[in-house]
Amino acid sequence: MTKFRGTRLAFLPGVFVAAMLAGGHARAQLPAFPAIPVNPDTAPDNTADWFLPFVGYQYTYDNNLFRLPSASVRNEPTVKPLIPTNISMEDHVNTGSVGFDGHWIAGRQSVDYDFEFDDNHFVRNEDLNNNSGNARAVWNWSLASDFFGQLGGVYTRSLSGFSDSFFFTRDVVDRQEYFANGRYQIGPRLAVYGNIDDSYTKNQAHAEEFNDLNIETGKVGLELATSQQNTVAWEYRFTHGHYPQQVFSLIDGIPFDADYNENSSVLVFKYALTDKTVFSGDGGYLRRNYPDNPEIGAYSGIVWHLKGLWQATDKTSLSVTASRDLQAYLYAQSDYFVQTGVAVSPVWVQSDKLTWVLVASWYKQDYIGASYSEVILFGAPRHDTISAEQGGLEYTPIRSLVFTFTYRHELRISNQAQFGYNDDIANAGVKFKF
C-alpha cells in the first residue's frame, strides 16, 4: 500500500487515470505498468537542489467503465435492480494535470516533495466529473553515516473504482498517510531497522462510508549481509485496522465488528545470482483476528512475495513477480481476499527517446468470511480470477516533452457472476516539464 519514489518517472502520470478507472489506487491491486528505467542523462541530480514544474493532458477510453457483467447476467432478477438505467458503460475521460517535483538538500539532510492536481471530465457520465491528485513530502534524515531514515506524509485523492461496490455514482476517496522509518548499521554486515505508519482513508459518498478505514502498521527487522550484494533479514510486522463509520453487520445472525489486528513473522532476502540476475522476496506466516468476534472471519496462513529481475542487455530486461497475501482494494476496504498470482513484464529501452513495456498477469482471489460482498450482499463464498494484458510505450522527443500510450485488457471470472466483467482501456497522454 505504500508507494514512495525518489524520482518521479514521467510514465506514471500517463497511466494515472487508467489505473484509477481500473480499480482505484489500491491497498492491493493488479500491477500497473512497471516503472520505466530512467535515462541517466535525463534523470534529476539528487546531489543538488532541483524543482521541476509540469503540465499534462491525458485522454482515456474505457469500454466498461462500471465493470458490469455480461448482458445476460445484468438482466437477471437479482442483479438488474442494482444497475441504474441512466449510466453509460462506455466513456471518454479528459484529464488536465499540473504539478511539480522537487529535491532540496541541507547538509546531510534532504527533502523530496511532489504535487499533482488532475481535473477529470467524463464525456457521457458527467456526474462522475472530479478533481484528483496527490502530494508527498519526505525528509531523508541522517544523524550519522550508520544511522538514517525517513519521515514524511502522502496524500492521495481519486475516484473510487466500481468493480466490487455496485455503487454507480461519484465517490471520491481521500487518503492520508504519515510514516517514519529508521535504520542503524551495527557493523559492516549487521543492521537493525523499523518503521511506523498511520493512514486514514475516507469515502466522500455517504453510502460508502462503511469502507472508511484507519490503519496503524509497524515493523522491526534485523538484517544480515552475507556478501556485498546478498542479504537476509527477519521482520516482525503488526497492523491494527479500525472502521470509524461502520454500522455493525450481521453474519449468520451474529453482530460483527470488522476492526481487526494482524501479526506476522517474515523472512526477507535478496540474492544476486549474477550481475544481471537478481532475486528478492519475503515469506512468513500471518494471523488476523477480529477482537470482538474471535470466531468470525479470522485468518491465518502463509504469505509470500517473490521477484526475479533479469537484465538481459543494457536495453532489455525481464521481471517476474509472484505473491500470496491478504489484500483489499482501497475503495472497498471491507472486502478482504487471499490473492495469489503472477505477473511477467519485459521492458525494451529501444533508444534514449523510446521505451516499450508489456505486462501479463493472472491473479486468483479467494474472499474471506468477513468480506462485505461475499457474506452480506450475496451470502455465498466468493472466488475470482483476474487476467490482464497491458502494453505501453513512452516517447521523449526532447528532454522536457513526454508522450505516453497505453492499452490494457482485463477479464474477471467469478463464481458470483455479478462480479465478472470484461474490460478494455486505452489512453494517450502528453506531459511538458519546464
Residue 381's domain comprises 11-433
Are 161 and 10 a contacting pair, CB within 8 Å?
Answer: no
pTM of the model: 0.84
What's the pLDDT score for residue 45? 73
CATH label of the domain that carries residue 242: 2.40.160
Residue 308 lies in a domain: yes
Q: Which residue has the cell 461475499?
A: 374
Q: For residue range 105-114, what is the model confidence (pLDDT) as tens digits?
A: 998 899 999 9
Residue 1 lies in a domain: no
Are 129 and 120 a contacting pair, CB within 8 Å?
Answer: yes
The predicted model gives 30-52 an average pLDDT of 68
Helix, strand, coil percentages (3-state) for the chain, rounded to 5, are 10, 60, 35
SS3 assignment, position 171: coil
Residue 56 lies in a domain: yes
Strand 260-272 relative to strand 231-242, pairing: antiparallel
Higher pLDDT, 55 or 382: 55
Residue 2 lies in a domain: no
Residue 3 lies in a domain: no
SS3 assignment, position 329: coil
Residue 186 lies in a domain: yes
What's the pLDDT score for residue 7? 31
Residue 6 lies in a domain: no
- Give the whole-angstrom CA distance, residue 134 versus residue 157: 6
Residue 134 lies in a domain: yes
Tell me the average pLDDT of the chain: 86
Per the structure, the count of domains in the chain is 1
Please name the amino acid found at residue 265.
S
- Beta strand spans in 227-315 (E): 231-242, 249-251, 254-256, 260-272, 277-289, 299-310
CA atoms within 13 A on the CB side of 346: 6
Q: Quick one: cell of 291?
A: 477482537
- Give the whole-angstrom CA distance, residue 248 versus residue 253: 11
Other C-beta atoms closer than 10 Å to the C-beta of 191 total 18
- Give the whole-angstrom CA distance, residue 385 versus residue 401: 38
